[in-house]
Copies of this chain bind each other. A is one copy, B any other.
Amino acid sequence: MKRKLTLKLIAKELGVSISTVSKALRDSPEISEETREKIKAYAKLYNYKPNNIALSLKNRRTNTIGVIIPQIVHHFFTTVISGIEQEARDRNYNVIICLSNNGFDKEVENMELLANGSTDGFILSISKETMLKEDYHHLNEVIEQGMPVVMFDRVVEGISCDRVLIDDKAGAKKGVSHMIRTGCRKIGIITSEDYISVGRLRTEGYLDALDDYGIAANDNLILKLDNIDDLTEESKKRIEDFVTKNDLDGIFTVNEFFAVHATRVLTKLGKRIPEDVSIVCFTDGQLSENMIPSLTAVSQHGEEMGRKAASILIEKLEREDSETAPYDTAYIDTSLVERESTRKLNR
């Protein structure tokens, strides 16, 4: 096993000083053509690469972005990460990903860990528990220390940071409006409790759409579940009840899982989709695409969101006059992907 090559080793081997090697490798004109070539040849031959850790220490910057997300076994988040990765790579940054598992303590722990020299800034989507607790000291601390933060998707107010958001409200409105235009009149929504920001906003979009078309909202047609990331047994039951009791002709859901389960219940009830009931869900993922029938979905463009978040963060990192730039919220547009679960629009 050969030890990793360092400037020191090269210097010793070639009988010159460390600084000569350093300069030669950076093409400094201070060094004679001859020595330079000799050193560069040697370095190339033995595949010298500067040690990132040493560089980070020296430069007081790591060129690394820390990403903290609630969970990784989640299609939307993976698309965002993929976008972050792309942008970071294009601009010569690394990415470290940590998971909070939707827990407050892990989120804090992760931030502290990464903040101790491992990253220059953060991109994060806040955990459910943190939202409930409303304790954001960990965010404020890293910001206080001069590390910029960009929040995406699940954000909170009152933090000095940039934000990238899906336009959840407009997206939901788009989906529900489409159902109305294709003839649905009694549309239910399966959403989350209001403390989950994306759920609340999507509910608002739903209400907006009804209002626009002069359809009265009805609280009985709104089902609020207490999670938005998965489908618990409890949620399944409530969806079954909801779908069975209300004779809906359209169902809008804030995620794919709820839509899939509603589909299942409808199928069991002998309802045809989309002839009897239309379905539209938020999040255009694998399930929407592959279900039979495939589901019309509001696509979130996660990759674009990731790229945007990374781009904003890097911009901040590379701006010298740190204090001046104001904080800002970028919106990522959604688009409606029409599939088999809604009727065709007559044009």
Please name all residues of chain B whose beta carbon is closer than 8 Å to the beta carbon of A54 when the two chains form the complex.
57, 117
With most chain B CB atoms within 10 A of its CB, the pick from A82, A118, A141, A322 is A118
Taking CB atoms and an 8 Å cut-off, the chain A residues in 253-287 that contact chain B are 257, 260, 263-264, 267, 286-287
Q: Which of A63-112 contact B (CB under 8 A)?
A: 71-75, 78-79, 81-82, 85, 94-99, 112
Q: Which of B4, B144, B257 contacts A1 (CB 8 A)?
A: B144
Which of these, B82, B117, B263, contacts A72 with CB under 8 Å?
Answer: B82
- A116 contacts B by Cβ under 8 Å: yes
Selecting from A45-53, A176-184, A197-205, A242-250, the interface stretch reads: A45-53
Docked Cα-Cα span, A84 to B115, in Å, equals 21
A130 at the interface (CB under 8 A from B): no
**Across the interface, do A47 and B141 meet the contact criterion of CB distance under 8 Å?**
yes
| In the bound complex, CA of A277 to CA of B59 (Å) | 64
Within the complex, the shortest CB–CB distance from A171 to chain B, in Å, comes to 20
Q: Determine if B116 and A49 form an interchain contact, defined as CB atoms under 8 angstroms apart.
A: yes
- Whether the pair B78, A118 counts as a contact (CB closer than 8 A) is no
User: Contact between A96 and B99 (Cβ–Cβ < 8 Å)?
Assistant: no
Chain B residue contacts of A216, Cβ below 8 A: none
| Cα–Cα distance between A1 and B286 once the two chains are bound (Å) | 44
How many protomers of this protein does the assembly include?
2
Instruction: Give Cα A78–Cα B75 distance, bound, in whole angstroms.
Output: 9
Which residue of chain B is the closest to A109 with respect to CB atoms?
B89
Q: 0/1 per residue, A111-149, Cβ < 8 Å to B? A: 011011110000000000000000000000100111000
Chain B CB within 8 A of A192 CB: no
If A1-B145, A54-B57, A73-B79 touch, whether A292 touches B291 (CB-CB below 8 Å) is: yes
Asked if B264 contacts A117 (CB within 8 A), the reply is no
Q: Is the beta-carbon distance between A112 and B73 smaller than 8 angstroms? A: no
Q: Do B292 and A290 have beta carbons less than 8 Å apart? A: no
Q: Are B292 and A118 in contact (CB under 8 A)?
A: no
Please determine whether A82 and B73 come into contact, CB atoms closer than 8 angstroms: yes
Within 8 Å of chain B (Cβ to Cβ): is A62? yes
A149 to chain B, nearest CB (A): 13
Taking a contact as CB atoms under 8 Å apart, the answer to whether B62 and A53 are in contact is yes
Does any Cβ of B come within 8 Å of A347's Cβ? no
**Residue A235 is within 8 A (CB to CB) of chain B in the complex:** no
Chain B residues near A323 (CB, 8 Å)? 1
Question: A115 — which chain B residues lie within 8 A by C-beta?
Answer: 49
Interface members, chain A 1-20 (any B CB < 8 Å): 1-4
> Does A52 contact B116, Cβ atoms closer than 8 Å?
yes
CA of A94 to CA of B53 in the docked complex: distance in angstroms? 15
User: Do the beta carbons of B73 and A73 come within 8 Å of each other?
Assistant: no
Could you show 16 A-B contacts with beta carbons less than 8 Å apart? A1-B144, A3-B145, A49-B115, A51-B57, A51-B117, A52-B113, A53-B62, A54-B117, A72-B72, A72-B81, A72-B85, A95-B96, A97-B97, A260-B292, A286-B286, A291-B291
